[in-house]
Amino acid sequence: MSIVDKEELLKELTFKFTRSGGAGGQHVNKVSSKVLLQWPVLASGCLDEEEKLLIMETWSNRINKDAVFQLECDTDRSQLKNKEIAIARFLNIITTTLIPTKRRKKTKIPYGKVLNRLDRKAKQSEKKNNRRWSMD
């Protein structure tokens, strides 16, 4: 994804702010610092259909029945910082998901390594046989 795509993607985001849970005293009861980032996956104009399906499959646990990707952040006391953290996480998730995985090349074990292993096994077997006490 290029920088322009990221900017277009950020325009499609919507944010909702709620009160954060947990301890915090009187301040936490007054301030809506928790950020809920929402992004409609299927309605996005930045990605093609294959990319949308890949994101839908990979992040199905974060996508609701209306095909809206949701990410929440309440790590900081500041609403602005939580919003920045949520955007950074979102961009990281999207970019890492869209990077194609490299296919593994099958390699063959070199013949010399096979011979070394068989030689070691033969020596170990000979050592064990020499230790054996026989009644012959």
What digits encode the pLDDT tens for the residues 13-38? 889 888 877 666 676 677 788 899 99
First-to-final CA distance of the chain: 77
Kindly tell me if the per-residue pLDDT of 50 is higher than 80.
yes
Q: Give the model confidence (pLDDT) of 85-136 as tens digits.
A: 999 999 999 888 888 888 999 999 999 999 999 999 999 999 999 998 877 6
- Integer CA distances (angstroms), 95 to 47, 51, 103, in order: 12, 11, 19
Domain 3-98 fold is Double Stranded RNA Binding Domain (3.30.160)
Say what the pLDDT of residue 122 is: 97
Question: Which region among 42-46, 67-71, 80-84, 131-135 has the lowest average model confidence (pLDDT)?
Answer: 131-135
28 by DSSP, 3-state: which?
helix
Question: Do residues 69 and 91 lie in contact, with contact meaning Cβ atoms separated by under 8 Å?
Answer: no
Q: Residue ranges per domain, the chain?
A: 3-98
